A and B are shown apart, each in its own frame.
Chain A
């Protein structure tokens, strides 16, 4: 009998999770499963044609797009550069404005609760507005062009960046801050000497990440009239000039890939 050597296994052994947790997890699992099944059933009913029609359409659409007309490349180079510039300007602006906002929205630095809650709420509201909605509003206010696009991306980036950076700030080692305070430093000196060195690598990395997002977002924003390559893409699609549109799509694809590659390498070097 092995049981003689191993008295622990005799009698009732406790299960790894308590019965209550097991019950909760089971209920949650079936609830999620039910939601999936229901939404599957519902979308099937609403779908017209189903998958078979889509396959035939796909062949049709693709044949229209090929071969891409690369002769337009010189003409679309300028709007492509505009799109990149939009992303650069809006990301830079957002990175600057984010600094005070992120500090105010960090619980460990802004110890005055009402101010912390106010800035946190402000950022939450900012993040609930989709970039496309911002672009539509600003295009309505300022007309078609780059400026509304820059503004939309700027506000959109603040929402993401300030949230991510305030969370980075909340995770820093507070001990050096205490030391700076103990040697008589004021609030700005404490932040500059003990906080900034700790968050600077993440700050740069997150800013580059938001820049990548902005490049992609600025293409989409062009579709609603916010300037750049997206605007041209929208026009070409509107004229049913599919070979031109395909050349634009390929150019965007290549540019996004290159920028992401560079930015990834930079971020790897930073952290």
Chain B
């Protein structure tokens, strides 16, 4: 369970990233955060694994306040919170398996990981993860030889290898075309259901949010302006969240193609 209690975040340059956030995310939920760019979606998600640090309030993950965490505790937190990025963030010159096994870093000692002395079951797990996103035939290809959609699947496999309790996905489909976007979202949803991993996804495409989310949180200017199950959401809700009428580029489309 993730609990934001009066969480606020002010960046060193004075920008308010988050204002007075009160949100509880229950285990197993598939939550989509929507909002325009700059609304605080990224800051919200990155607070949970402490890539950014809230300046006020308390943020609890599994009943423990993580805001005061330091190196050792932080690494432990991050081993159970996996993350997927917009730009995949793979090491382009390393091969696919090496990228995926990096998901075990938090579980592996420095010495073992530097010398590539991974446990057999860890390597097996990495390969299984690649199989689950159907990209096992690329296991020894270099990451930069893959297409965008393939790279994002590898980064999903990396997160799976980590065996996290939570998955955070920061605009995972913003750099992909519509059919590939749906493919990636389908994998995320499938993993959420099969492994019961709580998943929080940032999106700015309304139709995708409606299609995949159990629950939608709307953000504007660092504040939560909507929070409710997807059944309560209408086009008007989005207009309120975005503060303007809905346009064609707010939709990804292409659902029937995938």
- Give the segment of A3-11, A19-27, A130-138, A172-180 that binds chain B: A172-180
* B114 and A189 within 8 A (CB): yes
Q: For the side of the interface on B, what is the size category?
A: 20 to 34
A181 within 8 A of B: yes
Name the residue of chain A whose CB is nearest to the CB of B91: A176
Name the residue of chain A whose CB is nearest to the CB of B76: A184
Given contacts A175-B89, A194-B91, A197-B93, contact A185 B102 (CB under 8 A): yes
Residues of chain B within 8 A (CB-CB) of A201 are 93
* A186 and B89 within 8 A (CB): no
- Against A, the Cβ 8 Å flags (1 = close, 0 = not) of B84-116 are 010101111110001000110111101001100
* B110 and A189 within 8 A (CB): yes
B75 within 8 A of A: yes
- Against B, the Cβ 8 Å flags (1 = close, 0 = not) of A179-208 are 111111110110011100110110000000
Given contacts A176-B90, A186-B75, A198-B91, contact A193 B105 (CB under 8 A): yes
B192 within 8 A of A: no
CB < 8 Å neighbour of B158 from A173, A183, A197: A183
* A189 and B51 within 8 A (CB): no
Cα–Cα, bound, A111→B110 (Å) = 21
Residues of chain B within 8 A (CB-CB) of A194 are 91, 102
Residues of chain B within 8 A (CB-CB) of A189 are 105, 108, 110, 113-114
Cα–Cα, bound, A41→B218 (Å) = 74
Residues of chain B within 8 A (CB-CB) of A176 are 89-92
Residues of chain A within 8 A (CB-CB) of B102 are 179-180, 183, 185, 193-194
B189 within 8 A of A: no
Number of A-B contacts (CB under 8 A): 82
B202 within 8 A of A: no
Cα–Cα, bound, A189→B83 (Å) = 17
Interface centre among A173, A175, A198 (most CB of B within 10 A): A175
* A182 and B51 within 8 A (CB): yes
Cα–Cα, bound, A183→B108 (Å) = 11
Given contacts A179-B89, A183-B162, A193-B105, contact A188 B75 (CB under 8 A): no
* A193 and B113 within 8 A (CB): yes
* B105 and A184 within 8 A (CB): yes
Residues of chain A within 8 A (CB-CB) of B91 are 176, 193-194, 197-198
Residues of chain B within 8 A (CB-CB) of A192 are 113-114
Question: What distance in Å separates the Cβ of B46 from its nearest Cβ neighbour in chain A?
Answer: 9
- Against B, the Cβ 8 Å flags (1 = close, 0 = not) of A132-170 are 000000000000000000000000000000000000000
Q: What 12 additional pairs, Cβ within 8 angstroms, besides A184-B79, A184-B105, A186-B110? A: A178-B85, A182-B49, A182-B51, A183-B102, A183-B159, A184-B75, A185-B106, A186-B75, A193-B94, A194-B102, A197-B91, A198-B92
